[in-house]
Amino acid sequence: MALLDVRDLRVSFDTDDGTVYAVQGMSFSVEPGQTLGIVGESGSGKSVSTQAIMGLAPGATVTGEALLEGADLLTMSEDELRHIRGRTVSLIFQDPLTSLHPLYRVGAQIAEVMETHAQMNRKAALERAVELLGLVGIPEPKKRVRDYPHQFSGGMRQRVMIAMALALEPKLIIADEPTTALDVTVQAQILELLGRMRKDFQTAVILITHDLGIVADVADDVVIMYGGRPMERADVRAAFIEPHHPYTQGLLQSIPSYSGRMGRLLPIKGYPPSLMRQIQACPFAPRCPQAHDECLVAPPPLKPVGTSPGHLSACVLPSDAVGLPAHDAQATPAEAAVGGVEP
């Protein structure tokens, strides 16, 4: 049984200007010990999906199913969810400042997690907090546990979040951009730490990141999101070598190559879809160089593509049409404007 199985998740927010349909049918699953990467367009619903299933999207309307070891998180009470968030699932938020209290010392905040959920006494919890800060590479952790969050650098705060998530040895860690503020060396250290959790405790990890290099390095499978929906899912190798969905292909072509290709970068042309209505077509169609009429009829469902087992893509193109097109192949997007936002 999958550790977490999310089916047809939909999340919307009511705002002054109308309803925002942030997630419009997200599905994915994670097995124990597996690392699932979630990548995709900024604003495509990665954070909202994962926060909504943990009951952490205030003001949101959430439908669908999110089965954690068979039990649906979306029907649980706040108390049950709090218990799960403490013990079974840890979340590392994208924005450390929103989840660290500015007026409490960092050590006390880490210790509190263990006092509440692991019935540790204050002294033991503080000692463990120092140890955890050391594990995530904070120099002189004994001295620095007494600091307040504002006295930490961006990357140090991020590591405080990671230390908190590791404190309870959860079954699942949802890490939302956990290494954006970290240099490559510390990043490698953190990723290794997550890898060790996985080996020692069969911890599963959902890793949300824009850094495709990290995904390539540590994830088993990857889900690529766009406009509130999964566009493609594959094991990392297939996703990078045989991408099927034109969005995935466009994304891979935007990478500023480390080998130092100069000249202009190649962003995907056009604008992301408006989420002020439910999109009744392929959300990527307005920007897709290969879009045709069929794409505008309904959102294409995920279907098996390519040769690698489990490789799915939500695109109408022939299922064997995998792989990156030859270099400068990024043509002008089709003129069709479905739900696209004009500048």
Partner 1 sequence: MSTSTQGDLAVDATDAQVLLEVDDVVKHFPVRSGALIDRTHAQVRAVDGVSFSLKVGETLGLVGESGCGKSTLARLITALHPVTSGHVRFRGQDITALNRRQMRPIRKSVQMVFQDPYGSLNPRRRVGSILSDPFSVHEKMSRAEVKRQVQELMARVGLSPEHFNRFPSEFSGGQRQRIGIARALALRPDLIVCDEPVSALDVSIQAQIINLLEDLQDEFMLTYVFIAHDLSVVRHVSDRIAVMYLGKLVETGPVEEIYSNSRHPYTASLLSAVPVADQAFRTARRERVILTGDVPSPVNPPSGCRFHPRCPKAQAICATEEPPLEHKTGDPIGHLTACHFPVNPGETLANASRDAVPAPEAAVGATEGVDQ
Ligand X SMILES: Nc1ncnc2c1ncn2[C@@H]1O[C@H](COP(=O)(O)OP(=O)(O)OP(=O)(O)O)[C@@H](O)[C@H]1O
Give the whole-angstrom CA distance, residue 134 versus residue 132.
Answer: 5
How many angstroms separate the CA atoms of 304 and 238, rounded?
12
User: Whole-angstrom Cα distance, residue 46 to residue 11?
Assistant: 11
Contact 231, 248 (CB under 8 A): yes
Q: For the CB of residue 11, give the shortest distance to ligand X in the complex, in Å.
A: 8
Site string for partner 1, 36-55 (x = CB under 8 A): ---xxxxx--xxx-------
- Tokens found for residue 208: 């949300």
Size of the site for partner 1 (CB under 8 A): 80
**Concatenated DSSP letters for 91-152?**
EE-S-HHHHS-TTS-HHHHHHHHHHHHH---HHHHHHHHHHHHHHTT-SSHHHHTTS-GGGS
Answer for which of 3, 6, 9, 22 binds ligand X (CB under 6 A) is 22
| Binds Mg ion (CB under 5 A): choice among 12, 34, 35, 47 | 47
d(CA 22, CA 10) in angstroms, rounded, equals 8
- 96 binding ligand X? (CB under 6 A): no
Cβ nearer to ligand X, comparing 9 with 120 = 9
Could you say which of partner 1, Mg ion, ligand X, none residue 68 binds, taking C-beta under 5 to 8 angstroms by partner kind?
A: none
d(CA 281, CA 164): 41
Q: Is 151 in the site for ligand X (CB under 6 A)?
A: yes
What does 140 interact with, of Mg ion, ligand X, partner 1, none (CB < 5 to 8 A by kind)?
partner 1
Taking the CB of residue 70, how many other CB atoms lie within 10 A of it? 9
- How far is it, in rounded angstroms, from Cα 178 to Cα 187? 9
- The interface with partner 1 within residues 230-249 (CB under 8 A) comprises 236-237, 240-241
The minimum distance between CB 4 and partner 1, in angstroms, equals: 22
Which residues is 178 bridged to in the sheet?
A: none
Q: Is 275 in the site for ligand X (CB under 6 A)?
A: yes
Q: Tell whether residue 205 is a contact of partner 1 (CB under 8 A).
A: no
Regarding 282 and contact with partner 1 (CB under 8 A), the answer is no
Is 156 a binding residue for partner 1 by CB under 8 A? The answer is yes
Closest separation in Å from C-beta 325 to ligand X: 25
> What residues numbered 55-74 form the site for partner 1, per CB under 8 A?
none
Largest pairwise CA distance in the chain: 66
Among residues 154, 213, 267, 301, the one that binds Mg ion under rule CB under 5 A: 154
In angstroms, give the least distance from the CB of 123 to ligand X. Answer: 25
Verify binding: residue 254, ligand X, rule CB under 6 A.
no
- What is the three-class DSSP state of 88? coil
Question: What sections of the chain are H helices per DSSP?
Answer: 46-53, 78-87, 96-99, 106-118, 122-135, 141-144, 154-166, 184-201, 212-218, 236-241, 246-253
Contact call for residues 65 and 7 (beta carbons, < 8 A): yes
> From partner 1, ligand X, Mg ion, none, which one binds at residue 16 (CB under 5 to 8 Å depending on kind)?
partner 1
Residue 191: CB atoms within 10 Å: 20
The binding track of 100-139 with respect to ligand X, each residue x by CB under 6 A or -, is ----------------------------------------
**Site membership for ligand X, residue 43 (CB under 6 A):** yes
From the list Mg ion, partner 1, ligand X, none, partner contacted by residue 12 (C-beta under 5 to 8 A by kind): none
Among residues 155, 230, 250, 283, the one that binds ligand X under rule CB under 6 A: 155
- Decide if residue 181 touches partner 1 (CB under 8 A): yes
How many whole angstroms separate alpha carbon 155 and alpha carbon 250? 30
Residues lying near ligand X in the complex (CB under 6 A):
13, 15, 20, 22, 42-48, 59, 94, 150-156, 181, 275
